[in-house]
Amino acid sequence: MRSLLAQTAMQLFAEKGFDETTVDEVAAAAGVSRRTLFNYFRTKEDLALSGLSEQGEVIAARLGARPADEDVWVSLRHAFVVLDEIEVSPENRLEIVSMLFDNDSLRAGHAEKQARWTDLLAPLIEPRLPASESRGFQARAIVGAAITCLQAATEEWLRLRGSTPLFDLYDTAVAAIRTSN
């Protein structure tokens, strides 16, 4: 049910745009009442962003499976790469991503959801850092920076209309922030 709703919603959003689609239309298209829709999704935004939370969990699972002595940046990159694999509709990918970045509140929600990945990922890399009172904080900073690189890469990937592989851009971003110039 949840996935049916999310699917029909993405369909309509892709066709008409996010703002131009009402939740009533989504509910009608899915054949349920408006109230039922709100039983499954707290907000309209969630209809478009629900996938992100699940992606976060997949990434966390992947991260947890990396060897404990691996460099944390390497581990994070490996974990992120699942995003390239679980892509359901590669041809619509550009369309969907550009939708997420067109709308202000949607872009904000998207960034926020990804930022919440920090809560999942940071605890997994904290034990790999050298002991320190602020190790937990450092872990959050590192994960946050990695996610920022991913976001910057996605933005650039969108600007280039997908002509450059996402993770090439990601590598460029990470190199840019971690290399002294």
Partner DNA sequence: GCACAGTTGTGCACCAAGTGCAAGTTGCTT
Partner DNA sequence: AAGCAACTTGCACTTGGTGCACAACTGTGC
Residues that bind DNA (CB under 7 A): 1, 21-24, 32-36, 38-40, 42-45
CA distances (Å), 109 to each of 33, 56, 71, 114, 149, in order? 25, 14, 30, 9, 17
CA distances (Å), 95 to each of 18, 28, 34, in order? 12, 23, 26
In angstroms, give the least distance from the CB of 121 to DNA. Answer: 27
Residue 24's binding partner among a copy of itself, DNA, none (Cβ under 5 to 8 angstroms by kind) is: DNA
Residue 32's binding partner among a copy of itself, DNA, none (Cβ under 5 to 8 angstroms by kind) is: DNA
Contact set with a copy of itself (CB under 8 A) = 71-72, 104-105, 107-109, 111-112, 115, 129-130, 134, 137-142, 144-145, 147-149, 151-153, 155-156, 169, 172-174, 176-178, 180-181
In angstroms, give the least distance from the CB of 170 to a copy of itself. Answer: 9
Q: Are 161 and 95 spatial neighbours (Cβ–Cβ below 8 Å)?
A: no
132 CB contacts (<8 Å, ≥6 apart)? 138
H or E segment at 168?
Answer: helix 166-178
Q: Which is nearer to a copy of itself, 10 or 125 (CB)?
A: 125
Specify the DSSP class assigned to residue 86.
S
Residue 167's binding partner among DNA, a copy of itself, none (Cβ under 5 to 8 angstroms by kind) is: none
